[in-house]
Each structure stands twice: as C-alpha cells, then as structure tokens.
Amino acid sequence: MKIDKEFCHPIHPQHKLRLEYTEIPFNCDGCKEAGIGLKYKCQQCEFDLHKGCAVASPSITHPFYNKCEFQFYHQPPGSVMRICDACRKDVLGFVYHCKRCGFDLHPCCANLPQVLNDGERNLYLCLKLSSSCHRCGGKGPGWSYRSQCKNYNLHVSCVKEMLVESWQAMSLNVDNNKVTELQTRIPSLKGTQRNPYMERGGKVRKSYQMAGNAVRVIASAILGDPTAIIAAVVGGLISK
C-alpha cells in the first residue's frame, strides 16, 4: 500500500501532517497512547499521530476474534468508559470496536504482530496466559507474548505499565534538559521479576536477560513500530 508522505487528517484538517521518524517517545493525539519511530506530525503545532492511527483501515478482523468485525472510531462509542481487550487499559481516543460482541482494541494493539523475534527466540502473541506473567506473577486477563518453550510469558499490559511509569515523569516541573532525559527513558525490568518459582543463580540472570530482550521488542511493537531498528533504539533507552 502506498503511504503518502504528507496529507490532511479529518481530526486535524487545518494543517497538513508530514511523515517523519523519531527516536524520542511521543504521545499520539489520536489514540492517546505512547509512540516512537514513524509518525505523522504537524509542522505548525504540537500534533502527532502514530503512522498506524493516521492511515487506519476503516474496518479490520482479528484472528483472536473470528466472529468479529471491528470498525474504526475516532472516539469510543457510547457513554460508558471502554477498555481495550488486548492491554486492559482505558480507551481514550481512536479505537477499533466490534458492535456485535462489544470488544475494543487500541489501534496499536490491533496491529501487534503475531510473532516477534528478540534476536534469540520467537515470541508468540497469545489471547490467554498458559503460565504466570514474568513481571507480575499473575495470570490475569489480557494478551501476552509467550516464548516458544512456553515457560516465559509477559502481559502486554505489564509492558505498558513500565512505559507509563516513565511518561508520568514528564509531568514534573523540571528544566528542559531534564525533560529531554525523562522523555527518552523507558524503565528497565530491574526489580520487576516477581515469579517466586524462578531458580536462583545463573538461571535467574539468564531469565533477566531474556526478559530484557523481550521487553525491548514487545515495547517497540506496542509503541507502534515493530521493526528491528526501533527495537534497538528502545533497547538503548531502557534505564540502567
């Protein structure tokens, strides 16, 4: 599909948006979720859209919900707060909604790849957890990525929580240099591994390394650009 480098969007008709690449995280004015990599930006005011949000298909299907047809909305339909069935987070802007079944998906969640590669192994997108999440230790609802050996799971919601932790720091009243530093920090997995059944020693260290690699590629996909280049950038932004 041909991608226009510049165009007008219905929710921001006054100025044209231009396609550009950024290694600094931004907040999408469409879905209200975090982004990085390719985006459409207004050159005259502070307005950004994920590339996927800017050129969203009017309707989609998803392999997890084979009886659903999701329609694209600029605002969540109805008067009740809606929750994304992938990441279990509030829907505040652009959304794919199935009127028949009531399911909702953030555009970036709807576009999450079924398979990711962290450089060592494949991670498979799953509707339900088969074992405890590597970060929260639970089996709560929401999508997850699972290793091929089925011993490692990570909630999409848990990776989002780690990203949100850094976004909250942006609201602090600090100098410009500090703001830039905060904007480009994505939390590491240090201190977040809570699975009481993991063995100590080398296996724990290997587990941490595996988790770090997985977080890097999953975070890049959640942020709207599941490419090897942006995954490496996200890896460089992870807090030490």
| DSSP category for residue 77 | S
Domain shared by 99 and 195, yes or no: no
Pairing type for strands 122-126 and 59-62 reads unpaired
- Spatial separation of the C-alpha atoms in residues 55 and 138, rounded to whole Å: 35
pLDDT (tens digit per residue) in 109-160: 999 999 998 777 899 999 988 788 988 888 889 999 998 887 788 999 988 8
Tokens 């909702």, residue? Answer: 104
Pairing type for strands 48-50 and 115-117 reads unpaired
Domain shared by 218 and 182, yes or no: yes
Give the whole-number percent of the chain exceeding pLDDT 90: 45
| pTM attached to this predicted model | 0.80
Evaluate whether residue 82 is within a structural domain. Answer: yes
Decide if pLDDT at 240 tops 80.
no
Q: Do 189 and 133 touch, CB atoms closer than 8 A?
A: no
Give the whole-number percent of the chain exceeding pLDDT 70: 75
Find the CATH number of the domain harbouring 27: 3.30.60
Evaluate whether residue 1 is within a structural domain. Answer: no
Domain shared by 198 and 140, yes or no: yes
pLDDT at site 181: 41
Domain shared by 33 and 128, yes or no: no
Higher pLDDT, 189 or 149: 149
Domain shared by 120 and 210, yes or no: yes
Q: What is the tally of structural domains in the chain? A: 3
Cα angle vertex 225, ends 219, 228, to 5°?
80
pLDDT at site 117: 87
Evaluate whether residue 165 is within a structural domain. Answer: yes
- Residue 37: CA atoms inside 13 Å, Cβ hemisphere, count? 23
Tokens 């999440």, residue? Answer: 133
Of 110, 131, 146, the residue at which a domain comes to its end is 110
Average pLDDT, rounded, for the chain:
80
Of 45-54, 99-108, 223-232, minimum mean pLDDT range: 223-232
- Spatial separation of the C-alpha atoms in residues 237 and 231, rounded to whole Å: 10
Evaluate whether residue 195 is within a structural domain. Answer: yes
Record the tokens describing residue 9, joined without a space: 């969007």
Domain shared by 217 and 190, yes or no: yes
Average pLDDT for 20-42: 92
Domain shared by 133 and 211, yes or no: yes
Domain shared by 40 and 63, yes or no: no
Domain shared by 70 and 153, yes or no: no
Q: Which domain holds residue 193?
A: 115-237
Domain shared by 125 and 40, yes or no: no
pLDDT at site 116: 92
Q: Which range, 61-70, 122-131, 172-181, 226-235, is most confident?
A: 61-70
